[in-house]
Structure 1
């Protein structure tokens, strides 16, 4: 079994996933840009039941249904959670120990993509989210 591991900059938060990820993506939405401090964010998704934390789980912020976690010590962004799909957790690619192992497969929220930052990589491009929510939920 392959373990997928990651954590924050200072080591206060460590996590591991015991199953393969089901999802990888770029997100161009303004909320992800602000949360990551980057022109685009990248995520790898695992089922929450397959994830274990060692040490702290991180502080959270956000407005329902979305919460983001970060290290309260070093400030590193860790994950994105959505209560509409509570069985899933989306780790920031930069929080993974080997981010090169999780190439994104889709671009999300391209309607908010910065005009000077376009990745012409041939991946599918979605106008809104890329992780399916219950019917009727778009954001």
Structure 2
């Protein structure tokens, strides 16, 4: 049995626990994640939604296209996102995890949008667009298709 992975917001009003190992750990350089996090790059830890339980009553949601981002309604900490194009998956902000050092990213996504002054000298694979396949006929909240072209 895998030990539970826990996390939450800055003030403790939102807590969560994942009962399995993550299926995805990555950096994302897209503009939408940058705006949602306020950071030049985001890192995410992905689990199946049926492996996750939330506690607390402060979790709030913001919907933008197919993506719904969650955050603490008390302190504003970003918590996670779900994408209706990725059924049954939830991606937690790496910084929301209690033990963020445990989750080592395995690749970079949307490096086409990486800020030119941001240098991350690792040997991880770099995807120009998404690192998680989505249906070709759907697009991201910023209006781009999964292949990176504008609609």
TM-score normalised according to structure 2 size: 0.88
Q: Partner of 1:67 in structure 2?
A: 68
- RMSD over aligned CA atoms reads 1.3
Structure-2 residue corresponding to 1:31: 32
Query: Residue 141 of structure 2 corresponds to which residue in structure 1?
Result: none
Q: Is the 8 A contact 2:58 2:74 kept in 1?
A: no
Structure 1 residues 1-139: aligned runs within 5 Å: 1=1, 2-56=3-57, 58-137=59-138, 138=146
Structure 1 alignment gaps of length 5 or more: none
Contact 1:14–1:56, Cα closer than 8 Å, also in 2 = no
Relative distance call for 1:3 and 1:57 in structure 2 (3 A) is farther
Shift of 1:64: 2.3
Give structure 2 stretches of 5+ with no counterpart: 139-145
- Greater Cα radius of gyration, structure 1 or 2: 2
TM-score by length of 1: 0.95
Q: Which structure 1 residue ranges, 4+ long, deviate > 4 Å from structure 2?
A: none
